Amino acid sequence: MNRIHETAIVGHGVVFGDGNVVGPFSVILGPCRIGDGNWIGPNVVIGTPGETRGGSHPAAWDGDEGVGPIEIGDRNVIREFATVQQGWVDATRIGDDCYIMTKAHIPHDGQLGDSVTVSCSVMIGGHTVIGSGANVGLGAVVHQKRVIGAGAMVGMGSVVTRDVPPFAMAYGSPAATRGANKIGLARAGFDEATVNAVDELLRQGEDVSGLLPGEMRRFQESIDRVAQH
């Protein structure tokens, strides 16, 4: 069973799993696949085309075919007035257990891993990749085609113009890496010695591949994939 408010608009090509809630006056347009147990608040817009000058702008709410797919996993919370745009080159993807706060913008071809937090009024540029467990603070702005690594934390009001390594703490305008997200590392199961070593290397601008091999490999793979778009 899904609970979809009678004022919500659900377009052609939207496929729901089970146990989803869709609030009043929300608009969800296809092609879009939504998993199980998601909470989509009032006045959320999912599925308008990407903001590309000269690109197609179909009236998908009136039966036109949408542009590109959106894939949303399970148990996500998407708060009021948030926007999620359709894919343009690739699908726009949101993993599982993400929390997307009010007025946040998820762009065309955006890729969010699992358990990502996108705070109020965050603006994200197209093709951006945000790794699992990352946290983007209030009002941050992320330039298009940037990669924010798994477990990273971006401070509120930051302007992200460069890629942010996994488990880094980055803030400022432009944002710069200031050390490690120690709490995130500890929660991910890393011991104190590793946490301190990662923090020291990130503060010095050094490579942390020796300490975070899997995370850095996935980080580089995302950078390479984004560069192809």
The four Cα atoms 159, 74, 46, 51 give a dihedral, to 10 degrees, of 40
Q: What is the CATH number of the domain that holds 42?
A: 2.160.10.10
For the chain, the domain total comes to: 1
Characterise 60 by phi-psi region: left (phi > 0), alpha (psi -120 to 50), beta (else): alpha
Flag whether the pTM goes above 0.85. Answer: yes
Return the pLDDT at 181. 97
- The model's confidence at residue 229, banded by pLDDT at 50, 70 and 90, is confident
What pLDDT does residue 56 have?
87
Element (H, E) at 202: helix 192-203
Share the mean pLDDT of the chain. 96
Residue 192 has phi, psi (to 5 degrees) of -60, -40
Rounded-to-integer distance, Cα 12 and Cα 147, Å:
32
Reported as a pLDDT band with limits 50, 70 and 90, residue 164 is: very high
Give the residue with greater pLDDT, 61 vs 75: 75
What percentage of the chain exceeds 90 in pLDDT? 92
Half-sphere exposure (Cβ direction) of 189: Cα atoms closer than 13 Å: 1
**The residue type at 137:** G
Q: State the average pLDDT over residues 68-74.
A: 97
Cis check: omega of the bond before 165, within 30 degrees of 0: no
The percentage of residues in the chain with a pLDDT greater than 70, rounded to a whole number, is: 100
- What the block records as the tokens of 9 is 């608009």
Residues 88-140 have pLDDT tens digits of: 999 999 999 999 999 999 999 999 999 999 999 999 999 999 999 999 999 99
In which domain, by residue range, is 47 found? 3-227
Question: Is there a contact between 141 and 162 (Cβ–Cβ < 8 Å)?
Answer: no
Asked if pLDDT for residue 53 goes beyond 90, the answer is no
Residue 192 confidence (pLDDT) above 90: yes
